[in-house]
Chains A and B, each alone.
Chain A
Amino acid sequence: MSANPEPPKAPAPPPPPAKDTFTVIFDGRPVEVPKNLNLIDAAKLAGVEIPHFCYHPRLSVVGQCRMCLVEIEGMPKIQAACTTPLKDGLSVKTTTEKVRSSRAATMEFLLINHPLDCPICDQAGECTLQDNSFGYGQQLSEYDEAKRQYPTFDRTPIGPNVIADMTRCIQCTRCIRFCQEIAGTSELTFLDRGGRTLVWTHDGGPLANEWSACAADVCPVGALTVRQFRFRSRVWYLQKTPSICPGCNIGCNNSIEARENVVYRFLPRLNPDVNDYWLCDHGRFLSESLNLRDVSKATWREAGAVRDLPVPAAVDRIAAEIRGAIETKGAASIFFLGSAHLSNEENFLLRKLADHLACPNRDVVVDRGKPRKIKSQKGWITGEEAAPNFRGAREMGLTPGRGGYGLEAVLSGKSAPDVVIAADAEFGAAADDPAAVAALRKAKFLAVAARRSNALTRAADVVLPAASLAEKDGTFTNLQGRAQKFERAFLSKPPVRAHWELLLLLAAALGWGDPDWTPAELRARIAEEVPGYGDRPESELDGGRLLKKGDFAWKGAL
Chain B
Amino acid sequence: MRYLPLTPADRAEMLAAIGATSIDELFADVPATARRAGLVDLPLAQGEIEVERALSKMAAKNIAAGSVPFFIGGGAYRHHVPAAVDHLIQRGEFLTSYTPYQPELAQGTLQALFEFQTQVALLTGMEVANASLYDGATACAEAMAMAHRITRRGKAVLSGGLHPHYREVCATYAQFSGLEVEALDPSPGIVEKIDLDNETACVVVQNPDFFGELRDWSALAARCHQQGALLIVAVTEIVSLGAVKPPGAMGADIVAAEGQGIGNALNFGGPYVGLFAAREQHVRQIPGRLAGQTTDTDGRRGWVLTLSTREQHIRREKATSNICTNSGLCALAFAIHLALLGETGLTRLARLNHAAACNLADRLAAVPGVRLVTGSFFNEFALRLPIPAAEAVTVLAEKGVLGGVAASRLYPERDDLADLLLVAATEMVTQQNIDSYSDALAEILR
Whether both chains belong to one complex is answered with no
